[in-house]
Amino acid sequence: MSYYIAPRFLDKLGVHITKNFLQLPGVRVPLILGIHGRKGEGKTFQCELVFEKMGIEVTQISGGELESPDAGDPARLIRLRYRETAELIKVRGKMCVLMINDLDAGAGRFDEGTQYTVNTQLVNATLMNIADNPTDVQLPGSYDSTPLHRVPIIVTGNDFSTLYAPLIRDGRMEKFYWEPSRDDKVGIVGGIFAEDGLSQRQVEQLVDTFINQSVDFFSALRSRIYDEQIREFIHQVGFERVSLRVVNSAEKPPEFKKPDFSLSHLIEAGNLIVGEQQRVETSHLVDDYNRLNRGRSYQAASPAAETPVSQPSTNGFPKPEASNSHLTLETQEQIRQILAQGYKIGIEHVDARRFRTGSWQSCTNSHIDAHSDAISTLESCLAEYSGEYVRLVGIDPKAKRRVIETIIQRPDGKN
């Protein structure tokens, strides 16, 4: 199967890695390249394709390895893998890089509820130290005066604003926001379905049909097409015998004919996947469960009251009358967190008919940056459009892009 490498991605990685292996007089080259962007856009896979094309060996660290019950272990791991990679460059005589996947998941701080551990501090400090002294990286308790070979570090993540700010400053980390263009998506999806007989025109039509979906959506779509044959195979063998037939069987592995990869069939399966995504986004069952649990907790904690109480709160005491009856505590807290991150608030509404086409309209003339204004505007919008969908939008004013979209009211009256 032939895979597509986005020219912009190849250029960025190629320049950064090569620059770190060159001796440029009087030039301070950032050691770390941070690749960030939306989930599922193929950041890691594009890196692997570039490494393969350039003949680069990679030492991997997962974001999940950046925490440990023993303080100092993740920082030591980074130093150890860095030194191992430097030794590989010396022994193999070829380019090698250290790659840390999902750095923000392991070392980022998303809100006040995220625990900031000693290991998180040490990971940030270690990466800063390596970026400042790439040829002098020591293991705890030992010292080797021999200079190491400089090792470029590639890190991936979704939101680098959650990382320690001094780590991502320009002298240490060069940032690259990866958002594939339509042409990139057409090339990538064409590679995914290269063996399935889709023409260039059909690939373009498939991409345009699901233009707002990430790259991994199309990989999942190709996998979904095989479900029909797998289901038929299970029914032929029987649910009771499928384990014996598939795992450690004396018979040869089952063979499947090429499924129907017609454009209409792909679009039909894609719509099913999109419907499942929307069900997750709009169900918000946890809100119903939390409200139910809060009500039960309040009833259990309070004796029979002589005066009626309007709504219970999370701590078992009645909610003050001044509080808005439309907004849940979760919504008010989400507004506060959006503004605390430096983002602005947008509020949009749409009726049930236009909801299917995504034709949202703004409730405000400008974006909101004050908590009290956001609360009052949202109350007014909920009251004015009580029979419509209303959603809360978090907007990054610097990047001029949306970072959060949350539906907080539906036509059935659920908030």
Q: What letter does residue 139 receive in the DSSP assignment?
A: -
| Range 42-48, long-range pairs (CB < 8 A, 24+ positions) | 42/180, 42/188, 42/215, 42/216, 43/156, 43/178, 44/101, 44/156, 45/3, 46/5, 46/6, 46/9, 46/178, 47/13, 47/99, 47/154, 47/156
**Domain chopping of the chain, boundaries:** 7-177, 182-278, 329-409
pLDDT for position 293: 67
**Residue 1: is its pLDDT beyond 50?**
yes
Does the pLDDT value for residue 415 go beyond 60?
no
Residue 385, φ and ψ in degrees, nearest 5: -115, 55
Q: Is 36 exposed, middle or buried (0-12, 13-18, 19+ CB in 10 A)?
A: buried
Q: DSSP characters for 319-356? A: PPTTS-SSS-HHHHHHHHHHHHTT-EEEEEEE-HHHHT
Q: What is the pLDDT at residue 309?
A: 39
Tell me: pLDDT of 93 over 80.
yes
**What does residue 162 show for φ and ψ, rounded to 5 degrees?**
-85, -10
Q: Is 409 helix (H, G, I), strand (E, B) or coil?
A: strand
Is the four-CA dihedral 121, 124, 125, 127 of positive or negative sign? positive
Query: 7-177 domain in CATH 3.40.50.300?
Result: yes
pLDDT digit string (tens) for 258-277?
Answer: 888 899 999 999 999 998 88
Q: Options 1.10.8.1070, 3.10.20.30, 1.10.10.60, 3.40.50.1100; which CATH number does 182-278 get?
A: 1.10.8.1070
Q: Tell me if 236 sits within 8 A of 243, measured CB to CB.
A: no
The chain-wide mean pLDDT, for the chain, equals: 85
Residue 30 reports pLDDT greater than 50? yes
- Give pTM, 2 decimals: 0.66
Nearest-angstrom CA–CA distance, 79 and 76: 5
What burial class does residue 7 get, using C-beta atoms within 10 Å of its C-beta: 0-12 exposed, 13-18 middle, 19+ buried? exposed
Listed range (102-116, 152-166, 223-237, 295-309) with the worst mean pLDDT: 295-309
CA distance 261 to 267: 10
Q: Which of 210, 215, 127, 216 is nearest to 164 (CA)?
A: 127
Locus of tokens 């680098």: 160
Question: How many residues belong to the chain?
Answer: 415
Fold of the 329-409 domain: Ribulose 1,5 Bisphosphate Carboxylase/Oxygenase (3.30.190)
CA distance 281 to 404: 12
Place of tokens 């419509």: 388
CA–CA dist 323, 319 (Å, integer): 7
- Looking at residue 338, its pLDDT comes to 87
pLDDT at 322 over 60: no
Phi and psi dihedrals of 11, rounded to 5? -65, -45
Does the pLDDT of residue 325 top 70, yes or no? no
Most confident of 154-158, 307-311, 337-341, 376-380: 154-158
pLDDT band at 62 (very low <50, low <70, confident <90, very high): very high
pLDDT in tens, 307-320: 443 444 333 333 33
Non-local (6+) Cβ contacts of 387 within 8 A are: 351, 411
Helix (H) or strand (E) holding 195: none
The answer to whether 229 and 290 are in contact (CB under 8 A) is no
Radius of gyration of the chain (CA): 26
